[in-house]
């Protein structure tokens, strides 16, 4: 390679500003395809030299020029952009200098290596350790920071990023995901301009309701599903987060990810250490699709509880009954669940409270005893009845919250987050419990564990959280109020840790009035999440498309309900691209609809391994066309499932043939439409025929044969011939 070509190559992939030839110590963090390199300068500061594609020959790392971007900028010194860390020492000095002391790299196994870089202030006993865990085959790097105070007095840490990364590209394109209740994960892409762009949350409990802690950052030009160079990042934190993007005067970009510093300065006494949550990222040179597949694979292997294990299909009663039900009606609904063929019945909100019965959302929250009028024989009876019908039984809980109209509130008014001298502020008529108080944390733990101990057959929990924090003050924290947002989340994790010690594999759905709480900090304790209360399938196409960018299909609970006027087939086909469930009055179904649904459930059982554990190829975005096409392909490339949804299509709208992706070009595949209504025949010209993977990926399929009808869909099974 000529010197000029080498220079362009390095500048392109590693974004390096050339200062002088590399001669200093290097710290290399690498996965199968991604390279993150730091250098230690002559001044003993650590600099990010390169983040990008791994070299074909890693010896080329030694050629990387030195770079001026300090790896973890500390506030109060000469760098005047946003710092990764800023703290006030016990003597009031607001500066920090981080000098390299040492680093270690250890392999935990063949796939994971962890590099720790120890930094120390020369004048103060403050240490910072930068942790980088590299997951080789998934191309994921997980980074977090430890801050240790060994000064005599207390330090006040105001900014404490999980990660700081630097880029040098011509342009930067940010894709973010925002929304609200019932309209989660709307995708938006914009070009970053000079100065600051922040995506953050200050909502506390339901931290992700308006902005989700995930983003894509494409370099030079916008990335699409199959092309473009980009970073995909997410913060594993179930609380306030902040992504800070700042383009400086030389068009370099720094990205700081971590807990939102807003109202969250954290005090550390002598000997105390603060550990930030992890920022998880991947780097792709082949578009968003590959970045998502990397994240999905990592999530199944490491990020989500039992990510490699099958999930349960279920019938939930929320849409069918809301809080108005009794024991007899519920047992009747069990028959509906068996008719559909699902694995589990999930009893939603409304089953508890006696002094203040939970007959609407104004009362009862916090009083987790079965309501005697509705359930005279208790949960245990329901578990047994369900089991007798071959079903598992699960239950809804919202253990972090309380209605003022509850015995819990009456008994423990000091267990609630509220400003002492202001009016209580309600969302959904409820308040948040003060989880920073160990007694309250214990109560929440026992709410869950006692319920499971008393009813050993209980097989599933839906853990809800229906409000964010406002008017927030902890009676327990006294003069340490700025620790509240952080300590709340840490306490929640401790409770979940304790529950998981006792019940390591119990499936639990993470819910927050829909997707108000969706992040990898929580998902290590949960098996799935509720993406949105909006189950209108047209809306769900967009919502599920959004989540699919960062979360694998088996975590995305997708239920067939009566929202929307679309056919049962369209509703079911949309739900089948995630973790299928039902929340519907089966008694209202026509014979055809019921017959279809029973068959669909059987089809799902046959296809779910490919959907849950396969690689996702998003082929046509609903943001680009009036349709959405995506397919899952198993690891062996022997089975694939394709979902095609025609959305609000126009009269005579023309759609091109669709080239499939991810197949083995050498293999022969049989193409078969499935999930047809009883008696319906496929219009697909290729139906029942065999094609090479090469043909399917080159010529593709005409997915809109015949008349184009809005809100119609197709599920196609693609199986390799032996
Ligand atoms: C939230 C959930 C719903 C349902 C209700 C019950 O809004 O998202 O699915 O469980 O609470 O009150």
Answer for the pair 41, 47: CB distance below 8 angstroms, yes or no: yes
Question: In this structure, which residue's CA is closest to atom 7 in ligand 1?
Answer: 513
Cβ–ligand 1 contact at 529 (below 6 Å): no
State yes or no: pLDDT of 432 exceeds 90: yes
In this predicted model, what pLDDT tens digit does every residue of 624-665 receive, in sequence order? 999 999 999 999 999 999 999 999 999 999 999 999 999 999
- Summarize the confidence of residues 140-163 as an average pLDDT: 98
State yes or no: pLDDT of 37 exceeds 60: yes
Task: Write down the residue that tokens 């770079």 correspond to.
Answer: 67
Q: Could you report how far apart the first and last alpha carbons of the chain are, in Å?
A: 45
Of 190, 186, 226, 189, which is closest to residue 208 (Cα–Cα)? Answer: 186
Note the pTM of the prediction, 2 decimals. 0.96
- Summarize the confidence of residues 85-96 as an average pLDDT: 98
Atom of ligand 1 nearest to the CA of 348: 10
The residues, ordered by sequence, that sit 6+ positions from 388 with a Cβ below 8 Å of its Cβ are none
Answer for the pair 131, 56: CB distance below 8 angstroms, yes or no: no
Atom of ligand 1 nearest to the CA of 514: 8
Q: Cα angle at 425 between 420 and 430, to 5 degrees?
A: 110
Which residue from 518, 533, 535, 559 has its CB within 8 A of the most atoms of ligand 1, so it is best to mutate? 533
Q: pLDDT band at 722, cuts 50/70/90?
A: confident
Classified as helix, coil or strand, 610 is helix
**So what's the pLDDT on residue 95?**
98
Ligand 1 mean position to 559 CA, how many Å? 13
Q: pLDDT band at 24, cuts 50/70/90?
A: confident
Q: Which two tokens stand for residue 493?
A: 């994790």
Average pLDDT, the chain: 96
Question: In this structure, which residue's CA is closest to atom 6 in ligand 1?
Answer: 349
In this predicted model, what pLDDT tens digit does every residue of 320-346 receive, in sequence order? 999 999 999 999 999 999 999 999 999
Question: In this structure, which residue's CA is closest to atom 9 in ligand 1?
Answer: 533
Which residue from 319, 348, 581 has its CB within 8 A of the most atoms of ligand 1, so it is best to mutate? 348
In sign, the C-alpha dihedral spanning 466, 472, 478, 479 is: positive
Answer for the pair 614, 632: CB distance below 8 angstroms, yes or no: yes
In this predicted model, what pLDDT tens digit does every residue of 551-584 receive, in sequence order? 999 999 999 999 988 999 999 999 999 999 999 9
Please list the active-site residues. 464, 533
Cβ–ligand 1 contact at 327 (below 6 Å): no
State yes or no: pLDDT of 397 exceeds 80: yes
**According to DSSP H, which parts of 530-622 are helical?**
537-548, 568-575, 591-613
Atom of ligand 1 nearest to the CA of 361: 12
């Amino acid at each position: 390679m000529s010197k000029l070509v080498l220079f362009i190559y390095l500048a392109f992939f590693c974004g390096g500003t050339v200062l002088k030839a590399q001669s200093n110590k290097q710290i290399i963090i690498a996965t199968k395809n991604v390279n993150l390199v730091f250098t230690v300068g002559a001044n003993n500061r650590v600099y990010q030299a390169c983040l990008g594609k791994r070299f074909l020959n890693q010896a080329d790392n030694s050629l990387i020029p030195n770079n001026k971007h300090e790896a973890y900028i500390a506030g109060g010194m000469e760098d005047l952009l946003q710092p990764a860390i800023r703290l006030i020492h016990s003597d009031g000095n607001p500066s920090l200098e981080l000098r390299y002391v040492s680093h270690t790299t250890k392999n935990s196994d063949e796939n994971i290596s962890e590099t720790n870089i120890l930094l120390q202030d020369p004048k103060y006993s403050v240490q910072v350790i930068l942790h980088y865990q590299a997951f080789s085959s998934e191309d994921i790097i997980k980074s977090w920071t430890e801050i240790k105070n060994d000064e005599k007095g207390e330090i006040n840490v105001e900014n404490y990023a999980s990660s700081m990364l630097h880029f040098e590209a011509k342009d930067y394109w940010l894709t973010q995901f925002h929304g609200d209740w019932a309209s989660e994960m709307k995708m938006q892409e914009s070009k970053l301009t000079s100065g600051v762009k922040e995506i953050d949350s200050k909502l506390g409990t339901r931290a992700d309701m308006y902005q989700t802690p995930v983003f894509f950052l494409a370099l030079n030009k916008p990335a699409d599903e199959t092309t473009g160079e980009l970073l995909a990042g997410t913060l594993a934190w179930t609380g306030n987060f902040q992504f800070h993007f700042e383009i400086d005067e030389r068009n370099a970009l720094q990205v700081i990810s971590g807990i939102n510093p807003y109202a969250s300065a954290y005090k550390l006494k002598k000997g105390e250490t603060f550990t930030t949550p992890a920022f998880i990222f991947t780097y792709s040179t082949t578009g968003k699709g590959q970045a998502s597949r990397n994240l999905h694979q990592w999530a199944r292997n490491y990020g989500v509880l039992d990510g490699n294990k099958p999930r349960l299909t279920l019938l939930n009663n929320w849409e069918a009954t809301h809080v108005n039900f009794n024991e007899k009606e519920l047992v009747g609904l069990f028959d509906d669940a068996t008719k559909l063929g699902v694995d589990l019945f999930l009893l939603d909100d409304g089953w508890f409270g006696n002094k203040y019965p939970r007959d609407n959302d104004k009362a009862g929250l916090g009083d987790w005893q079965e309501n005697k009028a509705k359930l005279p024989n208790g949960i245990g009876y329901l578990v047994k009845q369900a089991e007798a019908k071959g079903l598992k039984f699960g239950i809804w809980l919202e253990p972090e919250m309380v209605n003022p109209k509850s015995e819990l509130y009456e008994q423990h008014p000091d267990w609630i987050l509220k400003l002492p001298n202001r009016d209580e502020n309600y969302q959904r008529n409820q308040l948040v419990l003060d989880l920073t108080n160990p007694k309250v944390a214990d109560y929440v733990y026992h709410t869950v564990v006692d319920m499971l101990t008393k009813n050993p057959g209980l097989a599933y929990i839906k853990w809800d959280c229906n409000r964010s924090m406002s008017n927030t003050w902890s009676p327990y924290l006294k003069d340490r109020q700025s620790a509240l947002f952080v300590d709340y989340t840490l306490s929640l994790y401790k409770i979940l840790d304790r529950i998981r010690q006792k019940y390591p594999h119990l499936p639990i759905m993470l819910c927050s009035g829909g997707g108000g709480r969706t992040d990898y900090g929580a998902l290590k304790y949960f098996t799935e999440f509720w993406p949105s209360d909006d189950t209108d399938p047209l809306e769900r196409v967009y919502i599920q498309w959004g989540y699919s960018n960062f979360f694998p299909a088996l975590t995305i609970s997708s239920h067939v309900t009566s929202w929307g006027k679309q056919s049962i087939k369209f509703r079911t086909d949309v739900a089948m691209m995630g973790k299928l469930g039902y929340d519907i009055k089966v008694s209202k179904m026509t014979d055809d609809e019921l017959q279809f649904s029973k068959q669909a459930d059987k089809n799902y059982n046959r296809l779910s391994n490919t959907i849950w554990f396969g690689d996702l190829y998003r082929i046509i975005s609903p943001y680009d066309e009036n349709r959405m096409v995506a397919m899952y392909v198993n690891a062996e490339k022997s089975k694939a499932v394709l979902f095609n949804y025609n959305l609000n299509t126009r009269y005579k709208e023309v759609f091109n043939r669709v080239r499939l992706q991810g197949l083995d070009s050498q293999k022969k595949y049989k193409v078969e439409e499935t999930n047809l209504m009883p008696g319906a025949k496929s219009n697909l010209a290729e139906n029942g025929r065999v094609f090479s993977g090469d043909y399917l990926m080159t010529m593709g399929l005409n997915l809109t044969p015949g008349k184009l009808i809005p809100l119609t869909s197709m599920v196609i099974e693609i199986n390799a011939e032996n």
